[in-house]
Amino acid sequence: MGEAQLMGMNSGQATYSDDEGKSVEVSIMDGAGETGASMVAMYAITLVMETEQQTESGYTKTTKFNGDRATVAENTYEDWVDSEITTLVSDRYIVSLKGSGLNLNELENVYNEINVKDLK
């Protein structure tokens, strides 16, 4: 997993793919510290609002996911689908999964394989 410290924030990122061209990008940002706490606070505000946006290719909305508030998105293009889940874990970590070639249900299954409960 790639790690970075940008503007005093710690984060990690990894991309996984298969032979069919499907992939999942996982990123985790640690909201500790002044800059990280500001980023988490801004994201938490977006989670409080109930939003839903429909487009010709899909949607983006805030919802309840695994007991936490999250933003989810799914877009379909002819025979391809992209999806995204971003959630706040333990009021500190922003966990984001971006799936290429995976619908939202498939991406949820990938998310459930990640042990985010250990993030404290």
**Token pair 């069919």 in the structure block, residue:** 20
- What pLDDT, on a 0 to 100 scale, did the predictor assign at position 81? 97
- What pLDDT, on a 0 to 100 scale, did the predictor assign at position 1? 45
Taking the model in full, what pTM does it have? 0.86
Q: What is the pLDDT of residues 30-59, one digit of tens each?
A: 988 888 788 888 888 888 888 999 999 999
**Count, residues in the chain:** 120
Would you say 96 and 104 are in contact if contact means Cβ atoms under 8 Å apart?
no
pLDDT tier at 84, thresholds 50, 70, 90: very high
Q: Which domains are assigned to the chain?
A: 2-118 (3.40.1000)
Nearest 5 degrees, angle CA 91-CA 95-CA 101? 155
Q: What is the pLDDT of residues 12-38, one digit of tens each?
A: 899 999 999 999 999 999 988 888 788
30 — phi, psi (to 5°)? -85, 120
pLDDT at 62 over 60: yes
DSSP alpha helix (H) spans, the chain: 33-48, 104-113
Residue 5's DSSP bridge partners are 10
- What pLDDT, on a 0 to 100 scale, did the predictor assign at position 7? 57
